Amino acid sequence: MQSEEEDEDEERESDILSDDGEVDDFPEIDAASDSDEESEEEEDDTDDLDEEDTLEEDSDADSDLHIFPKSKVVVSDITGQKKTVYPEIEPDYDSDSSTEEDPSRTGNIPMHWYDDLPHIGYDINGKRVLRPAKGDELDKFLATVDDPTSWTTAFDKNTQMDKPLSAEELDIIRRLQAGENPDAEYDPYEPTIEWFTGKGKEEVMPISSAPEPKRRWLPSKWEKQKIMKIVRAIRQGRIVGSKPTAADKKHQFYAIWNEPPSNQPPPLPAPKPKLPTNSESYNPPEEYLPTEEERKQWENTEPEDRERDYLPQKYSALRLVPAFDKFIKQRFNRQLDLYLAPRIQRIKLNVDPNSLLPKLPSPGSLRPFPNYKSLKFTHTKARVRCLSISPDGAWVASGDESGVISLWEVNVGREVKRWTLGSKVGAIEWCPRLDVCFFVAGTEEKLHFLMPPNLSPTVLTMTQSTLAPATLPPATQSSIKWISSSGAVEEGPILVIELPGASGLPRQLTWHRKGDYLASVSSSETQGGVWMHQISRRHSQAPFTKIKGAVQMVLFHPTKPHFFVATQRYVRLYNLAEQKLLKTLMPGIQWISSMDIHPSGDHVIVGGYDRKLCWFDLELSEKPYKVLRYHTRAIRSLHFHPTYPLFASSSDDGSIQIFHARVYSDLMTDPLIVPLKILRGHDVKDGLGVLQVKWVNKQPWLVSSGADGNALVWCS
Amino acid sequence: MASTSSSTVPSHPVVFTTKTPYVLPSQKFMIPLDWKRYQLSQLINKALDLPKPVPFDFIVHGEILRTTLWEWRAEKGVGEEDTLEIEYFESVMPPQRMSDIPHEDWVSSVSCRIPQHFVTASYDGHLRLFDYSQNPVIDTFVHQAPITSVCVVPSPSSDAESRILASSSHDFTACLTHIYMSLEGPSASTVASLHLHTSPLSCVSSDTSGSHLLTSSWDGLIGVWDTSIPDEHQVTLERGDDRKKRRKTAPVNIKRKAPIAVLKSHTARVSKALFATGLHAKGKAYSCGFDSTVRTWDVESGVCVNTVNVPERPMLDLAQTPDGNVLLAASTDRTVSIFDLRISNSSLSSSTGFMMHPATPSCIATSEGGKQQVVTGAYDGVARLWDLRSTKGAVTNFRVWDGMKVLGVDWAGDVVSIGGEGGVEVWRITGGS
């Protein structure tokens, strides 16, 4: 630094030496630097002056004529009072400080004339002014190290020593370096002075009095010549205009329908921004403001889990709303959205779970069906195992386990006749014929044919001739005896069929639709226990010599010569005429308990002890069309209504369930099964509930018998 | 009473009318709207200064007032300024159980049309006559099979001593039994049997003059009979061993009668057939059955004039009010349908109201003398008293037997006799108009 500065100084000196004309610059700096030094002194002096001010004020007031220098009124830093400050007044008459400051009075001469001399000039008294001692380079360096202001000093050749530069001088240097105007006072943007614009300043008179030239308004002949030359060239074909390009032509008319439409979907429109809600307002109503708990909860939840990403805040005025603090974050997320997240239309699966349920008609629209217990008939002694309803729908025969069969009216429930057979009644079935009137009751190894009282004479004679004809048909070879009782017909059975010994209790009886054949299923395991009895021939036979599994139930097909046999697991369908197996239904039930066939003959329901109820469509498959598991205990009995689209199932849980089962003649339409009603009225006794249900012909009424010894009539 | 009402409750102008002897002067009353029947009844008692308080019921616009006036007005939307005309009548007093006549078997039908006596028909085939002090007067074995209904044929010759009872039975016949209550001692003899039906009979009924009978049966036929006793058998019995035997046991003097007409239209069991009463009743009969129809018959020509089909509502009983205005039919879906005959004089169209029962209603009895009350019996052993002007709920119900069925009711004067599983009970109902 030191050496560089030195170099600079030397250069300047050399410049000064070479260029005499510019030597004058430095005395200006000189004077400014002096004044700068003095200004520091001034600050010191001001304190002293403060006291003197008051004295001088008085004197100023006296000398009004002495205008210059003018006083300034300033506020004192110390007292805080206003005070008048005067510029310093030079004490002598000639206040030219420049001459006075310089001790040497050599005048404006090149200073190198004194280079070889020990002095640098002469003072006002003619005495030599000695050259100040100049240290060597080391001293200079040390001085720069010691003095922090040394880099702002410059060599003054008048005094032949370094002088510090004042702030103004430094500012000028800085301006020159920055290429600015060195004058600090210079204002490049000072207002223009309008001389000729504005009201009253317009220049009315033309600047020149010359008339307006013709070229201002006449078309140019020369230009015309030039243009005509081009025109002539175009006419003669020397100049040919550029033809419109094919691309241009194509773009002129664009047949939008010529091209097949693209398969791509149109670009998705950007989703509409959500409209701001009330709570997003800067001044939301009070009710939108979160309570302290809500605020805490909001703060404690993860930002991902928050229901909304802001807290409503209230400001009384819009200008009080602070800057949006999450602006950067939001922009960042937006960028992420735009370039990371592909914009796809997400189809929200908003499925109402209820709509997935099958559409079932309401039970109210499927009336009539039994829905209340109309009356109760009680067997006092034992559980009512079986019942049957006369084909005209007027009488019920119910048999209990103590061997009592009661005949009672469906409507009134009055018992009109009672038979005591002595042993447990396993099954009862009315003959479906309308011209005769009797029913069959199965007890241990016997089938009893019983006639109700009060029959009309025609029916009575018909029944008698059917069951106990005067001339017996020729006896057939069979182990089963048919015994007609001629005597007291009204008291006991008119006909008894004695099943072979050890065949056990007939579990089920079923009539063929024409009322001539009766099938009985005995509970014994030997021979399958199935017997077919023909009333007109008084003949019984076992249709199956060997059968797999224990037969649970048998059924006649209502229209065809088919015969259903339900074993423990399977339901087999035999053709009786051709004597062959047609079909095996596999309900998947562990132990079949009951079975019934729809009056149309195309549908079979099978119930099991494992609570399942299977609906088979015989046209469709060997597997069930539908499996219903609505009972909580074993299913005991099933019955289709002969005319109404209803079926009922009874169970050991003491309930009867009524289903609407509409079967369509159209083969394409599936049967409609609607659960309608659960009837509860039977008590569960010894784990047994409702043992048999039967529908009343022609009316939507149901009769049920239960282990609690009651037979109930359910009416619509 | 009026002064005690609080001033905050607004009042309504009301004019009281009545057909009872308790007549108020016709003037406008301002009745507080929160008043109910009790306060109104007290008002009338106070106003008339009755020595013994008589409870009244009130009919506004043809309906019995059961709520406060305010609620009634809100329900009907009646303006505040309209003057209401309220008719009042003596309330039906809670029925009192008078006596109990036990029977060995169920009683299917009961009649109190013989003054001071009850006739009961039992399932054991006996017709019994009791007087009001429960003494059995006559006990006659008429039918081999259960008797389903009995009716007293009004005798034209106001002869108090001899009466004809008609009874229908499960043995496919109806019988006419002549009873004498002479001083020497009462006696009864079956004089004729009516042979037509091939199924058990459900009911027998006679017209008001006692000249004709109607029988209905499970085979869907209705027989029209006259009540004259023929000299000769009109029907020969079918051959049958059983029948021959029975004829030997039966007395010979029972004349077999044939019907004078058969009404054939029902497709199922006919549960009740009766002659029309009232103004336009000449030659008309009504019947109902299990085919859910109520049919109107022209008995003279034997033609079904009108059929009302009430879907899926098998009818069990039918009754007509004595003035002939209203037909009531009990059905197995626990309702009693009301058919208003005043709407269309000639023909019925559809039911105009229902009386809902908690159990199967089995029988209906109407009261005499233009009263608007009916009694129904149901299978839950409860007889209910209804007012036809307000069918929302029963006026009172009286529990006759617990869990035993009521099978027949009859109402004459203030006596209601109820027959059923537990025999016969007699109740007294007073009041009503």
> Tokens for A471?
């001339």
A454 and B170: CB-CB below 8 Å? yes
- Whether the predicted pLDDT of A16 surpasses 50: no
A456 touches chain B (CB under 8 A): yes
Tell me the CA end-to-end span of chain A in Å, nearest whole number. Answer: 122
Q: Do A715 and B198 make contact, defined as CB atoms within 8 angstroms?
A: no
* CA–CA dist B296, B316 (Å, integer): 16
C-alpha separations of A678 from A397, A708, B232 in Å: 24, 18, 58
Torsion, Cα of B63, B69, B72, B78 (10° steps): 100
Nearest residue, CB atoms, B146 vs list A375, A416, A456: A416
Per-residue model confidence (pLDDT) at position B232: 79
Residue A700 to residue B123, Cβ atoms within 8 A: no
**Quick one: average pLDDT of A571-582?**
89
CA A52 to chain centroid: 89
Q: For the domain bounded by B96-428, which CATH number is listed?
A: 2.130.10.10
Q: Return the amino acid letter for B92.
A: V
Q: Do A701 and B332 make contact, defined as CB atoms within 8 angstroms?
A: yes
Mean residue pLDDT of chain B comes to: 83
Q: How far apart are alpha carbons B63 and B37 in whole angstroms?
A: 13
One-letter amino acid of A117: L
Residue A61 CA: distances (Å) to CA of A50, A51, A93: 17, 17, 22
From chain A, the residues in CB contact with B242 under 8 A are 457, 460
Q: Which residues of B touch A698 (CB under 8 A)?
A: 268, 290
Instruction: Tell if the CB–CB gap between B172 and A454 is shorter than 8 Å.
Output: yes
3-state secondary structure B52-73: CCCCEEEEECCEECCCCHHHHH
Residues of B in contact with A716 (CB under 8 A): 312, 332-333
A569 pLDDT exceeds 80? yes
Q: What would the mean pLDDT of A687-695 be, rounded to a whole number?
A: 92
Contact A699 B145 (CB under 8 A): no
Specify the pLDDT at position A227: 96
DSSP per-residue string spanning B332-344: TTSEEEEEETTTS
| Segment 405-434 of chain A within 8 Å of chain B by CB | 411-414, 416
Render pLDDT for B133-162 as a digit per residue (tens, 0 to 9).
888 888 888 888 889 999 988 876 656 678
Q: Which residue has the higher pLDDT, B167 or B180?
A: B167
Q: What is the mean pLDDT of chain A?
A: 81
Of B171, B314, B362, the CB nearest to A699: B314
Q: Which two tokens stand for residue B168?
A: 């229908």
Q: What is the number of CB-based contacts under 8 A between chain A and chain B?
A: 68
Among A47-56, A94-103, A218-227, the range with the most confident prediction by mean pLDDT is A218-227
Q: How far is B40 from chain A (nearest CA, A)?
A: 40
With a cut of 80, say whether residue B43 has pLDDT above it. Answer: yes
Q: Which residues of B touch A715 (CB under 8 A)?
A: 332-334, 360
Q: Which of residues 354-373 of A touch B (CB under 8 A)?
A: 367-368, 372
Q: Among the listed ranges A616-620, B241-245, B395-399, which one has the minimum average pLDDT value?
A: B241-245
A590 at interface of B, judged by CB pairs closer than 8 A: no
CB contact under 8 A, B333 and A715: yes
For A458, the closest of B200, B238, B407 (CB atoms) is B238
Query: In this model, does residue A94 exceed pLDDT 80?
Result: no
Q: What pLDDT sits at residue A649?
A: 93
A454 touches chain B (CB under 8 A): yes
Closest to B13 measured CA to CA, from B58, B87, B79, B89:
B79
pLDDT over threshold 70, residue A34: no
3-state secondary structure of A98: helix
Q: What is the pLDDT of residue A174?
A: 92
Enter the tokens of residue A541.
Answer: 């036979």
**Sole residue written with tokens 């005025």:** A317
For residue A374, list chain B residues with Cβ-Cβ distance below 8 A: 332, 359-360, 379
**Which of A414, A435, A491, A643 has the most B C-beta neighbours within 10 Å, making it the best mutation to test the interface with B?**
A414
Compute how many other C-beta atoms are within 10 angstroms of the C-beta atom of residue B243. 16
Report yes or no on whether pTM surpasses 0.80.
Answer: no
Mean pLDDT along residues A252-276: 78
Q: Residues A380-551: name the CATH superfamily.
A: YVTN repeat-like/Quinoprotein amine dehydrogenase (2.130.10.10)
**Residue A457 and residue B242: Cβ atoms within 8 Å?**
yes
Range of weakest confidence among A653-667, B208-222, B249-263, B284-298: B249-263
pLDDT at A658 over 90: yes
CB contact under 8 A, B242 and A411: no
Q: Return the domain boundaries, chain A.
A: 2-177, 380-551
CB atoms inside a 10 Å sphere around CB A452 = 19
Question: Which of B106, B268, B312 has the CB atom closest to A414's CB atom?
Answer: B106
For A435, nearest residue in chain B (alpha carbons): B198
Distance CA A564, CA A11 (A): 135
Residue of A369, A377, A408, A456 best to disrupt the B interface, most CBs of B under 10 A? A456
Q: Domain B2-90 has what CATH class?
A: alpha beta
Spell out which chain B residues touch chain A, with contact meaning CB-CB distance below 8 angstroms. 106, 108, 123, 144-146, 170-172, 198-200, 218, 237-240, 242-243, 268-269, 290, 312, 314, 316, 332-334, 359-360, 362, 379, 405, 407
Count of other CB atoms within 10 angstroms of residue A284: 16
pLDDT digits (tens, 9 = 90+) for B218-268: 989 999 998 888 887 877 765 444 444 444 445 567 888 888 989 998 998
Please, which residues have CB within 8 angstroms of residue B304's CB and are 6 or more apart in sequence?
B263, B265, B295, B296, B297
- Residue A409 CA, chain-centre distance (Å), reads 64
Nearest-CB residue to A698 (from B198, B268, B360): B268
Report whether pLDDT(B428) > 90: no
Averaged pLDDT for residues A396-407: 91
Is pLDDT at A56 greater than 50 in this prediction? no
Report the alpha-carbon distance of residue A338 to residue B12 in Å, rounded.
Answer: 75
Please give the C-alpha separations between residue A113 and each of A25, A121, A337, A460, A588, in angstroms, as whole numbers.
19, 10, 83, 177, 138
Chain A positions touching B293 (Cβ under 8 A) are: none
- pLDDT surpassing 80 at residue A503: no
Mean pLDDT of A678-683: 90
Please name which of B390, B384, B325, B313 lies closest in space to residue B353, comparing C-alpha atoms.
B390
In terms of CA atoms, which chain A residue is nearest residue B198? A456
CA-nearest residue to B333 within chain A is: A716
- A411, A414, A698 ranked by CB distance to B123: nearest: A414
CB-nearest partner of B171 from A454, A700, A716: A454
Q: What is the pLDDT of residues A294-325, one digit of tens each?
A: 999 999 998 888 888 888 999 999 999 999 88
DSSP state at residue B398: E
Residues of A whose CB is below 8 A from B360? 374-375, 715
Going from N- to C-terminal start, the domains of chain B cover: 2-90, 96-428
